[in-house]
Structure 1
Amino acid sequence: MSRSKPVSRGSGSGVSVGQVLMHLLPAVLFFALFAAVGFLHVTSRVLVVDMGYRLSKAEAEERALIRENDRLKLELATLKNPARLEKLAREKLGMAMPAGPHVIALPVELPGKKRPSRVEARDARGVRVAERGAPAAPH
């Protein structure tokens, strides 16, 4: 059997702790750099995936708002339908088309032409009355 000799800790044959650390320092720095790059890569990928989810959610919300806007435009067009408005006026408000002498013709105002400050009354009510089907009398 062989016997091992005890290692002497003399100044000439031993390796100091400082020398060991100096040999390990490049490996430790390389590992730290590798870990930092890996951490930055994972962080950036997580941010990209998160932004993708946000973008997808925003696009879905945009599509929902566009559908809602289209639905509201259709509803507005339906509510402004002249036939519907006339039916509402007749049935709910009790309105009817005016008879001939009840139609009042107002003079046409041309742009740039000043309206007279005083208008003369043509009948007892203080307004000119036009007959239905007859052209308005010139003033």
Structure 2
Amino acid sequence: MNHSKPSSRVGGSGVSVASVLLHLLPAVLLFALFAGVGILHVTSRVLVVDMGYRLSKAESEERALTRENDRLKLELATLKNPARLEKLAREKLGMAMPAGPLVIALQPELPGNKRPARVEAREARTVRVAERGSSH
């Protein structure tokens, strides 16, 4: 009698489980390769779409900041308008343009020449001197 191992044969046709697995191995490896490539492709597409959304958001933010910058430049130009500043000086600070003889033109300071720290007007009775930056 011929006794053979019943676990290594399938159905009595003489085909072992190991030989079936050996024949299926290339197909399984090919399937795994395609699955890996598919996963990488989908991952890369998701990253590209995500980056597109981020780029769109950044461009939108850039446009909003540009509009805000333009608005602030216009506001600055309005605030620096000489007519507005003159009106504020007159109305809020009580200032007025000096009369003609009270205006003194100073010569530009040359490197070797020093001028006095304070220049007095000829008629000092109506001249008020304001000093910048003094915190006394």
Query: In the TM superposition, what is the alpha-carbon distance from 1:105 to its structure 2 partner?
Result: 2.7
Structure 1 segments unaligned to the other structure (5+ residues): 1-7, 120-124, 131-139
- Equivalent runs, 1:51-70 vs 2, <5 Å: 51-70=51-70
Does the Cα contact within 8 Å between 2:89 and 2:95 map onto a contact in 1?
yes
Does the Cα contact within 8 Å between 2:104 and 2:121 map onto a contact in 1?
yes
1:114 and 2:112 aligned: yes
Aligned length: 115
Normalising by structure 1, we get a TM-score of: 0.72
Q: Are the structure 2 counterparts of residues 85 and 95 from structure 1 closer, same or farther at C-alpha, using a change threshold of 3 Å?
A: same
Report the structure number with the largest CA radius of gyration: 1
Query: In the TM superposition, what is the alpha-carbon distance from 1:37 to its structure 2 partner?
Result: 0.7
- Equivalent runs, 1:74-89 vs 2, <5 Å: 74-89=74-89
Structure 1 residue ranges (4+ consecutive) displaced by more than 3 angstroms after TM superposition: 8-13
- Equivalent runs, 1:5-24 vs 2, <5 Å: 14-24=14-24
State the identity as a percent: 77
Does the Cα contact within 8 Å between 1:105 and 1:128 map onto a contact in 2?
no
Q: Which has the higher contact order (CA 8 A, sep 6+)?
A: 1
Aligned-residue RMSD, C-alpha:
2.7
Does the Cα contact within 8 Å between 1:90 and 1:96 map onto a contact in 2?
yes
Q: Are the structure 2 counterparts of residues 126 and 24 from structure 1 closer, same or farther at C-alpha, using a change threshold of 3 Å?
A: closer
Normalising by structure 2, we get a TM-score of: 0.74
